[in-house]
Amino acid sequence: MATGTLTIDLDAIAANWRALDKASASGVQTAGVVKADAYGLGAGRVARALARAGARRFFVAASEEGAAVRQALGPGPQICILSGHMAGDTEMIGDLDLTPMLNSLEQVTRHLESLPGHAFGVQLDTGMNRLGMEEAEWEAAAPFVLDAGPELLMSHLACADEPDHPMNEAQLAAFHAMTDGTGVPRSLAATGGILLGPRYHFDLTRPGIGLYGGRPYEGALRVVSLSLPVIQTREVGPGEFVGYSCGWEAEAPSLVATVQGGYADGLLRGLSNNAVLWDGDTPCPLIGRVSMDLITVDISHLAEVPRHLDILGPHQGPDDLADAAGTIGYEMLTGLGARYGRRYLEGGA
Ligand SMILES: *Cc1c(COP(=O)(O)O)cnc(C)c1O
């Protein structure tokens, strides 16, 4: 096989969900965030695994993603749409029983006029200035919106991955001010917010990255491994160069493996000359530039030429690779390409 193999451990995702569920009190519901195709890992498979683990509510970014998750899960579980009720989505929201988190007066009007009586939530802006109704807008709208019976009031923390950041307390206070006394179930915490402690948990938490083994949830089980086939090897003498722009120069006689997988597969070009692949427990440096389909690796120190080298696995998670590329685990995961063969582990298999 000439493409890499991405292995996704659904049991590990389910275990991470259970652990994050246990991190809040038993009366607090724990959802699963499966937007962006479950952070690149496959929304259908992941949502089904989370549902089997006990998740009853899911969040996606857009109605189209909600439709795919509904198809995977069937009727029953609640599927919430973070972008709310956009023009053109009414039929999908109605027919597939999706629950939009309404972000503006415009969306509130659209929803209540086009689907009266259909479930909705409201997203409030507590300082991130990205999605949701601002304080003044909410003050004006709250009387009739609350009258229409929202089933959730939610907001999102901008700095939850920095526990000491003053923005956390400021957003918590703003959320209380906007929602206390409404009697409506509330949600403020994603993965980072869960780790900030019970004052941030309210009635429902919304973990995403923590399910998939990423920071800031340091206790997560590893979820993905990525194994790349060695296409060919060559001996390179001192003074010879490897790859585009002669990005690496051999100082000693070296054995170089050319490995399938490049920036078109999400192996960011920032990893050039700056990452490690693994042959079992032995690290092998990536040398030269990452190109579209290929990377080159120094395997001079190996006793045998391996058939594969691992770039994600027990020794190196998405955050480690992200650090090397100057980005975050979220971007690394969601960028994993469509060319990999995908293998799902489930039921201890
Ligand atoms: C993406 C997102 C989440 C999940 O965040 P993680 O940091 O991945 O846990 C939760 N809520 C909202 C509004 C989001 O946009």
Q: Is residue 252 part of a domain?
A: yes
Pair 163, 241 in one domain: no
Question: How far is Cα 295 from Cα 270, in angstroms, rounded to an integer?
Answer: 12
Q: Is residue 28 part of a domain?
A: yes
Pair 184, 67 in one domain: yes
Cis ω for the linkage preceding 216 (within 30 of 0): yes
Share of the chain above pLDDT 70, in %: 99
Q: Is residue 335 part of a domain?
A: yes
CA 26, 29, 34, 39 torsion-angle sign: negative
Q: Is residue 142 part of a domain?
A: yes
pLDDT for the residue numbered 13: 98
User: Residue 65: which of 76, 86, 129, 51 has the closest Cα?
Assistant: 86
- The stretch 144-154 carries a mean pLDDT of 98
Q: State which H helix or E strand residue 252 sits in.
A: none
pLDDT for the residue numbered 210: 98
Q: Which atom of ligand 1 is nearest to the CA of 35?
A: 1
Let me know: does 319 contact 329? Beta carbons within 8 Å: yes
The phi, psi pair for 342, rounded to 5°, reads -110, 135
Q: Which atom of ligand 1 is nearest to the CA of 131?
A: 13
The phi, psi pair for 7, rounded to 5°, reads -105, 125
Residue-range definition of the domain harbouring residue 44: 10-212
Pair 263, 160 in one domain: no
Pair 20, 147 in one domain: yes
Let me know: does 258 contact 230? Beta carbons within 8 Å: yes
Task: Copy the structure tokens of residue 81.
Answer: 């749409």
Task: Copy the structure tokens of residue 334.
Answer: 């969601």
Question: How far is Cα 77 from Cα 58, in angstroms, rounded to an integer?
Answer: 7
What is the SS3 assignment for 329? helix
- The stretch 202-215 carries a mean pLDDT of 97
For the chain, the distance separating the N- and C-terminal CA atoms, rounded to the nearest angstrom, is 22
Pair 173, 243 in one domain: no
Span from the CA of 34 to the centroid of ligand 1 (angstroms): 9
Q: What is the pLDDT of residues 251-275, one digit of tens each?
A: 999 999 999 999 999 999 999 999 9
Q: In what order do the strands lie in the sheet with 121-123?
A: 32-33, 57-60, 78-81, 98-102, 121-123, 153-154, 186-187
Pair 267, 177 in one domain: no
Q: Is the CB of 190 under 6 A from ligand 1?
A: yes
- Among 187, 212, 237, identify where a domain stops: 212
Pair 165, 245 in one domain: no
Q: Is the CB of 32 under 6 A from ligand 1?
A: no
Span from the CA of 63 to the centroid of ligand 1 (angstroms): 16
The pTM for the full model equals 0.96
- 340 among known catalytic residues: no
Span from the CA of 190 to the centroid of ligand 1 (angstroms): 5
pLDDT for the residue numbered 349: 55
Pair 299, 206 in one domain: no
Q: Is residue 189 part of a domain?
A: yes
Q: Is the CB of 156 under 6 A from ligand 1?
A: yes
Q: Is residue 3 part of a domain?
A: no
Pairing label, strands 341-345, 5-9: parallel
Q: Which atom of ligand 1 is nearest to the CA of 214?
A: 8
What is the SS3 assignment for 158? coil
Number of compact structural domains in the chain: 2
Pair 99, 233 in one domain: no
Q: Is residue 322 part of a domain?
A: yes
Span from the CA of 206 to the centroid of ligand 1 (angstroms): 6
Pair 233, 152 in one domain: no
pLDDT for the residue numbered 320: 96
Number of Cβ atoms within 10 Å of the Cβ of 29 = 21
- Among 212, 232, 256, identify where a domain stops: 212
- Among 161, 183, 212, identify where a domain stops: 212
Q: Is the CB of 312 under 6 A from ligand 1?
A: no
Pair 63, 89 in one domain: yes
How many angstroms from the chain centroid is the CA of residue 294?
25
Q: What is the pLDDT of residues 97-145, one digit of tens each?
A: 999 999 999 999 999 999 999 999 999 999 999 999 999 999 999 999 9
Share of the chain above pLDDT 90, in %: 99
Pair 208, 237 in one domain: no
CATH number of 252's domain: 2.40.37.10
pLDDT for the residue numbered 2: 79
- Give the CA dihedral 32, 35, 39, 40, nearest 10 degrees: 130
Q: Is residue 294 part of a domain?
A: yes
Average pLDDT of the residues of the chain: 97
Going by C-beta distance under 8 Å and a sequence separation of 6 or more, which residues neighbour residue 74?
none
User: Which of the residues 39, 200, 244, 344 is marked catalytic?
Assistant: 244
Band (pLDDT 50/70/90 cuts) for residue 1 is low
The phi, psi pair for 185, rounded to 5°, reads -55, 145
CATH number of 131's domain: 3.20.20.10
